[in-house]
Structure 1
Amino acid sequence: MSSSIDTNSMTTLHWVGVALAAVSGIVHLVLGVRFLPGAFGISFLIATVGFAAGIAAVLVNYRRRLFYLVGIPFTAGQIVIFAWTVVQGINSLGPIAIVDKVAQVGLVVVLVLLLQRG
């Protein structure tokens, strides 16, 4: 594994995915800090680590295909969990949530496309 950034092999689609993951990662970081020290805050920070790890793996060209594959259910699962919390009345669909969910839906689409391209 190389520890240096390898952008030569990255396409525009890769960069779009990195940007979308960064948006969701930043949203989760802010919310995680806001909700600390509770379990909700910790769960947001764990998600932040997941997005950061995915971004790092893509940037250093480390097993990208595996990270695309893992990133799809990781991101889609967060969309489903959020929808469940809205239905349960635990959460609401505010501006930050809309930005986050649009970024996540876009990220899932990008990851599927990258996975299909091989």
Structure 2
Amino acid sequence: MSFDLVVWAMDQTAAPDAVRDANERCARGDHPQRPADPRVVAFYDALTSRYPDRGPRATEPGTPWANAPLHAAADHIQMRLDESCPDVVLETIERLAGELNLDLLDLQDGTVYPPPIRS
């Protein structure tokens, strides 16, 4: 069994429904034809430098990925995580999403976690 999380590069005024709508478009194969959002690129680079999704390390025992490589698009990264994924991986995903102002969508229940408001 696995579970899915998706980080989305949305504007600061995007409501949770906008994130879910964007994800539905992705599921239909509708992806924007534009350059990758720098926040998404930074997220992917930081996450996969610790937890590779390609090459021999992506399939070693203990990898957090139930499916690799990750689904990467211009405005989002979808991660299918193994059910035994260590909490530190989830904490890293949440921290990076917050630092990079990315919304985090939990596909199991549709909850959207916006990045923390910085003062």
* Same structural fold, with TM-score higher than 0.5 when normalized by the shorter chain: no
Instruction: Give the TM-score taking structure 2 as reference length.
Output: 0.36
Q: Rg larger in 1 or in 2?
A: 1
Higher fraction of strand: 2
Instruction: Compare relative contact order (CA 8 Å, sep 6+) and give the higher one, 1 or 2.
Output: 2
- Which structure's residues are more often helix, by fraction? 1
